[in-house]
């Protein structure tokens, strides 16, 4: 009788609900070098068999996988963790199987403890151990052969059961499981791994042309160098420059965005391109490319990285308009379509047409621009209005650039609809602008930052909280006075690992706006401004202290460890941040009212912060250097915004020393 070849039965284990997983694995999650990736999944099979599962991971391109055993949680949930240690993208997946040995061993223990005869079960177990011995090699194989002999031998049942229950046998069997019917998750999920600056940094935005020491003169890169010590002293890590390229003359805008420019109006830096060059040239009034290189090197000596603006648009005078007319959209009268955001018109700017039939040539040219500046030492780019360019373009560009330059960081400047912002983050942007500028009440801040830090959004979208920008002077800053600037600074600097300010407008509390708008009066976008940074009311000492606190407390580097605390006054907001090991605990309380003193009772989450409900603990207020001894979960605070509108407490637990005296740690 002919027999067909035997085949293995289908795998019995189901792997579902894997997290983190973005859009079915379409997009990567994000981490920085040294960060952990915690992966969970539902792992289930019919019946009562014991299961085993491993989390598999490796760097993209490697053929060998590393594995870590997953641990069972309630309700068929399993979890494991690995750490990304290289500046390379990673992949991860899950493999699970029926653990026949563990299933057998569990039943054996129950039956033997019930006094039943388990001689048949011991023979079954001996065969499982012999099979594992054949899968093993070396000392493990010899050990398993010996254990199979004992378990299946003629010794007393108690002795054989004891051998089967030994910890050593359990560990050795786990090293050599039968995975012939294992299930592997269908997707290899991806981790976009970046350097620490992607998740942690203080940004300072500055117009180079307004950096001159004396009024009325166009600033240069050498003037920017002279300003570096000032920026570094405030503790900033990144100096972001709006476009530094030649500015077009045709339809140039005048002061305060008037449609006609005067003979000395410099125009908007975002109207890129003139006779002196385009996106790979520098404005001649700023200096030369060699001057720029010297400035970048000088910034690096101050511990500062220079970030450049990627404004993929052109003035009517850009060479692209003449040499590649197919890259622009034409109106029925034959003229090139200029940029509009009704009712605003930007006649000095031509958007690129990403639907052109020559899109490949356009994409390659824009990539060449990025690579040009990388070649000059720039590794951070802020993309201007990225939501007006195709998602596919950004995904292609960022992946292509990071393939050879994984150190490069892209920030998406997109104040637009939530799903557009989220999709830009999924496409590869390391950081994203947010709605923080317009979130002012406790409810607004709590709901928004819970979404950013406690939902799936945190896996792919890193917020960069700008307290102001050249485009946005919020109503809160316009009318809140000096305390309002301090309040927004503390919120931005402590709610997220990345934050920024546009200066010197911010530290000088510039609050003059075009009436009824969020536009600055006499905006630097359209004219030179002279800033007296030596004014005695400059906020730089306060900013420097806040940035020093950021550097001294690693808890502020973990966005996802943000926890809001109840406080019985809606004009006070309180939240905690902790390091993963709870060695660094911060409690931040901010008075959201810039005009009046506010007080209230805070509920401190003692258990979550690792604090004893009985023992007192010390809180060290880092802005004013005061210290208080608090007891229990309910504690009182009072904050006068005219003195300092916030309190940043370092929580120190009482511990007993080896010499038998107490101290706070």
Nearest Cα neighbor of 200 from 301, 324, 305 is: 305
CB 369 within 8 A of CB 375: no
Say how far apart CA 81 and CA 19 lie, in whole Å. Answer: 12
Instruction: Show the 3-state SS of 615-649.
Output: CCEEEEECCCCEEEEECCCEEEEEECCCCCCEEEE
Say how far apart CA 358 and CA 217 lie, in whole Å. Answer: 42
Residues counted in the chain:
665
Residue 507 buriedness (CB in 10 A; 0-12 / 13-18 / 19+): buried
Torsion, Cα 380 382 387 393, to 10 degrees, reads -30
Kind and range of the H or E run holding 80 = strand 77-83
Residue 298 burial (CB count, 10 A): 18
CA distances from 358 to 324, 341, 361, 368 (A): 9, 26, 6, 16
Say how far apart CA 186 and CA 472 lie, in whole Å. Answer: 46
Nearest Cα neighbor of 141 from 149, 150, 132 is: 132
194: three-class secondary structure by DSSP: strand
Say how far apart CA 506 and CA 204 lie, in whole Å. Answer: 10
Which is the catalytic residue, given 205, 225, 305, 384? Answer: 384
Residue 375 burial (CB count, 10 A): 10
Helices 289-301 and 221-233, interaxial angle, to 10°?
Answer: 10
Say how far apart CA 159 and CA 179 lie, in whole Å. Answer: 29
DSSP, res 610: T
Residues 6+ apart with CB under 8 A from 478: 511, 513
For residue 296, report the phi and psi dihedrals to the nearest 5 degrees.
Answer: -60, -40
CA 202 to chain centre: 13
Which is the catalytic residue, given 121, 237, 309, 413? Answer: 413
CB 217 within 8 A of CB 238: no
CB 648 within 8 A of CB 637: no
Nearest Cα neighbor of 315 from 249, 241, 389 is: 249
Say how far apart CA 185 and CA 55 lie, in whole Å. Answer: 10
DSSP, res 145: H
413 a catalytic residue: yes
What does R_g of the chain's alpha carbons equal in angstroms? 31
For residue 405, report the phi and psi dihedrals to the nearest 5 degrees.
Answer: -135, 70
640 a catalytic residue: no
For residue 288, report the phi and psi dihedrals to the nearest 5 degrees.
Answer: -115, 175
| Number of helical (H) and strand (E) elements in the chain, helices listed first | 14, 31
Say how far apart CA 588 and CA 564 lie, in whole Å. Answer: 9
Catalytic residues: 384, 413
């Amino acid at each position: 009788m002919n027999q067909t070849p035997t085949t293995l039965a289908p795998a019995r284990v189901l792997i579902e609900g894997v997290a983190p997983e973005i859009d079915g694995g379409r997009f990567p999650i994000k981490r920085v070098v040294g960060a952990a990736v915690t992966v969970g999944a539902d792992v289930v099979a019919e019946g009562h068999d014991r299961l085993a599962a491993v989390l598999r991971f490796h760097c993209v391109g490697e053929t060998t996988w590393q594995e870590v055993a997953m641990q069972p949680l309630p309700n068929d949930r399993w979890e494991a963790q690995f750490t990304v240690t290289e500046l390379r993208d990673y992949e991860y997946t899950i493999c699970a199987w029926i653990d026949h040995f563990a299933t057998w061993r569990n039943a054996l223990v129950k039956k033997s403890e019930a006094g039943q005869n388990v001689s048949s079960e011991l023979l079954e177990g001996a065969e499982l151990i012999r099979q594992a011995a054949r899968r093993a090699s070396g000392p493990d194989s010899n050990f398993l052969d010996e254990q199979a002999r004992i378990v299946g031998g003629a010794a007393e049942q108690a002795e054989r059961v004891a051998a089967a229950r030994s910890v050593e046998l359990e560990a050795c069997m786990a090293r050599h499981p039968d995975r012939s019917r294992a299930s592997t998750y269908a997707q290899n999920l991806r981790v976009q791994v970046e350097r620490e600056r992607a998740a942690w940094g203080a940004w300072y935005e500055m117009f180079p042309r307004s950096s001159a020491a004396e009024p009325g003169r166009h600033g240069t890169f050498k003037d920017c160098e002279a300003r570096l010590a000032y920026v570094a002293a405030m503790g900033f890590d990144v100096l972001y420059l709006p476009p530094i390229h030649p500015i077009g003359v045709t339809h140039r805008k005048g002061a305060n965005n008037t449609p006609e420019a005067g003979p000395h109006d410099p125009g908007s830096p975002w109207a890129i391109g003139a006779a002196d060059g385009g996106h790979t040239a520098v404005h001649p009034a700023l200096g030369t490319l060699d001057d720029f290189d010297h400035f970048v090197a000088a910034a690096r000596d101050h511990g500062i990285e220079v970030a450049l603006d990627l404004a993929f648009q052109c003035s009517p005078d850009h060479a692209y308009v003449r040499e590649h007319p197919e890259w622009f959209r034409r109106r029925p009268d034959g003229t090139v379509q200029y940029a509009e955001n009704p009712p605003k018109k930007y006649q000095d700017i031509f958007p690129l047409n990403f639907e052109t039939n020559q899109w490949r040539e356009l994409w390659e040219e824009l990539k060449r621009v990025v690579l040009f500046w990388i070649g000059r030492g720039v590794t951070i780019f802020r993309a201007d209005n990225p939501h007006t360019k195709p998602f596919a373009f950004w995904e292609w560009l960022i992946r292509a650039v990071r393939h050879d330059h994984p150190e490069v960081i892209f920030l998406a400047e997109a104040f637009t609809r939530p799903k557009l912002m989220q999709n830009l983050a999924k496409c590869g942007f390391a950081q994203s602008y947010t709605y923080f500028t317009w979130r002012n009440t406790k409810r607004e801040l709590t709901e928004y930052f819970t979404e950013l830090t406690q939902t799936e959004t945190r896996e792919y979208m890193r917020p960069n909280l700008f307290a102001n920008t050249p485009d946005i002077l919020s109503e809160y800053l316009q009318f809140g006075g000096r305390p309002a600037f301090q309040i927004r600074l503390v919120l931005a600097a402590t709610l997220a690992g990345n934050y920024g300010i546009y200066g010197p407008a911010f530290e000088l509390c510039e609050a003059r706006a075009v009436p009824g708008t969020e536009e600055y009066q006499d905006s630097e976008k359209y004219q030179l401004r002279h800033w007296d940074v030596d004014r005695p009311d400059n906020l730089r000492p306060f900013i420097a202290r806040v940035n020093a606190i950021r550097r001294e407390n690693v808890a502020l580097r973990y966005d996802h460890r943000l926890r809001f605390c109840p406080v019985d006054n809606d004009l006070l907001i309180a939240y905690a941040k902790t390091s993963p090991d709870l060695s660094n605990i911060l409690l931040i309380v901010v008075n959201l009212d810039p005009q009046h003193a506010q007080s209230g009772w805070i509920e401190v989450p003692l258990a979550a912060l690792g604090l004893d409900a009985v023992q007192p603990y010390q809180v060290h207020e880092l802005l004013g250097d005061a210290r208080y001894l608090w007891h229990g979960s309910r504690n009182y605070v009072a904050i006068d915004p005219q003195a300092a509108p916030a309190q940043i407490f370092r929580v120190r637990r009482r511990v007993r020393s080896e010499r038998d005296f107490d101290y706070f740690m």
